Structure 1
Amino acid sequence: MSDKPKEQNQQEPQQSVLTKTLIIGFASGVLWSGLAALAYYFHFSEVSAASFLFRSYWQTEWTGTWLAEVLAVIIVGVLSLISALLYYMFLKKKNGIWPGLIFGLVLWAVIFVILTPLFPAIPAFMELSSDTWVTTGCLFLLYGLFIGFSISFEYKEFNESAN
């Protein structure tokens, strides 16, 4: 027997781009909604994930606790799989930061302008403070950038290694 360590010529099996897209979607949902919860806690924003998901439909004491925020962050991570799949289906071949930024901005507009009437605990768009607009807008821009750049990069890397 030799005391030399074996060389690692074996490569890990490649995950599909779709699998990585799902991982990116969940991780980005948890990351950015977690930061949104912190922004809510420090009063940079009037809304949090728990405001949308729980306080709009249940007026109980637990919806104002940290447990509600943690559960909402996890649920947003799961819901983020949908937006990651949408990006994968329609924009994965786009390179650069602009497609992701635009994706994040459109997602922000859809949630805060179009879907707000579905969430009674959230004030109408024009009733939200400018701090909330800027904070949530920036978080969604960064979310879109994270999703977009990560998925496009994985798609490009996967196709280059396949050739």
Structure 2
Amino acid sequence: MMKEHNPGNYPVPMSFPVMVFWTGLIGGLFWGLIGCLASYLSFTEIRPNVILEPWAIGNWKYEWLGTLISIILIGICSVVAAFIYYAVLRKFTGFWFGMGYGILLFLVVFFVLNPLFPGMKPIFDLNRDTLITSVCIYIVYGIFIGYSINYEYQNSNEQENEEAT
């Protein structure tokens, strides 16, 4: 196995797919916690636990363990969302694409996937606070994922160009 040249003993940067994985996981966990806090403070009717409703049996899914497992599942789903962003939108600059991606994810969850979650009312039956809070969380999540991936992509391209010259 060849050792990578590392002048000055600087830490070796992560590979791009590993960075996308960590960005997705941390983004999902963080914004899942923010969503949990928003439901606790009554900004939204939707709790993270709705992700467990179609698959888990029992009332434990509505308690602290269910909330914890739900946030972890949101983190795992977020990894998938981050890799989709990486595959499709990584080359586009600016935060607008991340914002649009967040809005797209909101529309997919609230229109397409809504029937999977029995604890989530149809979008037109949700109150205004829930809609505004949810859209804002999805937008900021999309900006986080998009900007992080795009920044690293642009940075790695610049480093490759510098090394080539």
- Above 0.5 in TM-score? yes
Aligned twin of 1:63: 61
- Aligned-residue offset at 1:55: 3.0
Equivalent residue, structure 2, for 1:79 = 77
CA distance in 1, matches of 2:129, 2:25: 27
- Distance in 2 separating the partners of 1:57 and 1:105: 26
Instruction: Report what 1:109 is aligned to.
Output: 107
Q: Deviations over 1:101-156 (max 9, x none)?
A: 00000000110112101111111111111111000100000000000000000111
Q: CA 1:59–1:130 in structure 2 vs 1: closer, same or farther (change >3 Å)?
A: farther
Q: Is the 8 A contact 1:47 1:132 kept in 2?
A: yes
Runs of 4+ aligned residues of structure 1 deviating over 4 Å after TM superposition are: 56-59
CA deviations over 1:79-106 (Å, ceiling 9, x no partner): 1111100100011011111000000000
Equivalent in the alignment of 2:3: none
CA distance in 2, matches of 1:114, 1:158: 35
Q: Residue in 2 aligned with 1:31?
A: 30
**1:158 equivalent in alignment to 2:156:** yes
Q: By how many angstroms is 1:75 displaced?
A: 0.9
Which residue type is aligned with residue 69 of structure 1? Answer: T
Contact 1:103/1:144 (8 A) holds in 2:
yes
Q: Which runs of 5+ in 2 are unaligned?
A: 1-6
- Between the two proteins, the alignment pairs up a number of residues equal to 155
Match of 2:130 among 129, 132, 145: 132
Check 1:106–1:79 CA distance in 2 against 1; reply closer, same or farther (3 A cut): same
- Secondary structure in 2 matching 1:55: coil
Task: Please state how far the C-alpha of 1:58 moved relative to its aligned partner.
Answer: 4.3
TM norm structure 1: 0.90
Residue identity over aligned pairs, in percent, reads 32
In 2 relative to 1, CA 59–125 (structure 1 residues): closer, same or farther, beyond 3 Å?
farther
Distance in 1, Cα, partners of 2:134 & 2:154: 30
The normalised TM-score by structure 2 is 0.89
CA distance in 2, matches of 1:86, 1:58: 27
Q: Distance in 2 between matches of 1:40 and 1:104?
A: 19
- The CA RMSD over aligned residues, in Å, is 1.4
